[in-house]
């Protein structure tokens, strides 16, 4: 298990290179910095202009046991339900294979401030922010 978090520059590169998949029909790959008509269509389908990809896995960018990540993911779903947010399942994949696949959610309609608060609640360094007709981007939860 990793005991130290990577620095922000290393994290930014890893997060930017990751593959983010929304479990839609068909599955949709989101790339940071690349606009997507298919993402725009998902937002429109949910009558939303923005949304966020959030995970609860591996808080603080420390590889965490699978059972701990599964419990955190369940808590994330409960938190979103309590806040009355809809969501679609996602998964994040490290193409270099250094990090395990992470479950997460795409939350259409959530504000950036709400997304930041939820991500921070689960110890996340960042989340992916999406707006209709714009390229998804990485947003840090702090600093």
CB-based burial, 3-33: b 16+ in 10 Å, e otherwise? eeeeeeeebbeebeebebbbebeeebebbbe
DSSP symbol at 139: E
pTM over the 0.85 mark = yes
Domain locations in the chain?
8-140
pLDDT in tens, the chain (143 residues): 344 456 888 888 889 999 999 999 899 999 999 999 999 999 999 999 999 999 999 999 999 999 999 999 999 999 999 999 999 999 999 998 888 899 999 999 999 999 999 999 999 999 999 999 999 999 999 86
Give the residue carrying structure tokens 């930041």: 116
Residues 31 and 50: their CA atoms lie apart, in Å, by 15
């Amino acid at each position: 298990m990793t005991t130290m978090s990577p620095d922000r520059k290393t994290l930014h590169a890893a997060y930017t290179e990751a593959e983010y998949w929304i479990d839609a029909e068909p599955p949709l790959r989101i790339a940071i910095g690349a606009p997507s008509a298919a993402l725009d269509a998902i937002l429109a389908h949910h009558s939303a202009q923005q949304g966020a990809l959030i995970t609860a896995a591996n808080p603080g960018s420390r590889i965490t046991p699978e059972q701990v990540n599964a419990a955190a993911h369940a808590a994330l779903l409960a938190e979103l339900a309590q806040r009355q947010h809809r969501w679609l399942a996602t998964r994040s994949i490290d193409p270099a294979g250094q990090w395990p696949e992470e479950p997460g959610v795409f939350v259409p309609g959530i504000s950036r401030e709400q997304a930041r608060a939820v991500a921070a609640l689960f110890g996340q360094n960042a989340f992916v922010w999406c707006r209709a007709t714009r390229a998804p981007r990485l947003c840090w939860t702090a600093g």
